[in-house]
Amino acid sequence: QMQLVQSGAEVKKTGSSVKVSCKASGYTFTYRYLHWVRQAPGQALEWMGWITPFNGNTNYAQKFQDRVTITRDRSMSTAYMELSSLRSEDTAMYYCARWNTATGAFDIWGQGTMVTVSS
Amino acid sequence: EIVLTQSPGTLSLSPGERATLSCRASQSVSSSYLAWYQQKPGQAPRLLIYGASSRATGIPDRFSGSGSGTDFTLTISRLEPEDFAVYYCQQYGSLFTFGPGTKVDIK
């Protein structure tokens, strides 16, 4: 079945970086945009950016423009989200989600990766 | 950036009752790109409705979506115990934004 499987929870120090992976299976990885969405504890969903797995093009939310990098490895059907200069406010669950252009919605979500930032 | 506002913030209802959730956009949204998601504690969001009114695969017909322009509605005709959750609307214009969510809890 189609699924996205993310890497495990991370605990990071303030000022460091974190890299989260998202492995796709059950569909052709290069055919669908892959997005990253985060959710701070008890808060709403917040879109961070996307990547086109086919050619690696990216687009980031202005809020994260200077700190986020989304990449992919086509051979591994895996996308990555790296967030740098971490601060306590970055403590959140990070999700990858597949954008289905046919439906215009996020139709498959990863299970989430909890990133905790502390000093 | 299009801002989405959801109301009410919390909806307290009993099983079997009808739930009506509102999503209002700060400017007109293409109906093709208005979606609703359900999220239960400890779980990832799940797509319910896309294109403002189309049910995603496997979604029961007690869930329905409607609306256009700046005003959209998610209706749950008869609440089942598993429907108590948080619901988010989401739009895609030039960028992607989510609403703040409506929590449907048991009265």
Give the residue from B32, B96, B103 with the most A CB atoms within 10 Å of its CB, the best one to mutate: B96
Q: Which of B32, B45, B95 sits opposite A109 (nearest CB)?
A: B45
User: Using 50, 70 and 90 to split pLDDT, how confident is the model at A79?
Assistant: very high
| C-alpha span between A57 and A26 (Å, rounded) | 22
Please check whether residue A107 is in contact with residue B47, taking contact to mean a CB–CB distance below 8 angstroms.
yes
pLDDT tens-digit profile of A13-52?
999 999 999 999 999 999 999 999 999 999 999 999 999 9
Question: Which percentage of chain B shows pLDDT scores above 70?
Answer: 100
Would you state the pLDDT for residue B94?
74
User: Using 50, 70 and 90 to split pLDDT, how confident is the model at A115?
Assistant: very high
Instruction: Say if residue A7's pLDDT is above 80.
Output: yes
pLDDT tens-digit profile of B33-86?
999 999 999 999 999 999 999 999 999 999 999 999 999 999 999 999 999 999
Instruction: Say if residue B7's pLDDT is above 90.
Output: yes
Would you state the pLDDT for residue A35?
98
Q: What mean pLDDT, rounded, does chain A reach?
A: 96
What is the number of helices (H) and of strands (E) in chain B?
Answer: 0, 10
| Strands B96-98 and B4-7, sheet pairing | unpaired
Minimal C-alpha gap between B3 and chain A (Å): 12
Q: Which of A84, A24, A83, A82 is nearest to A54 (CA)?
A: A24
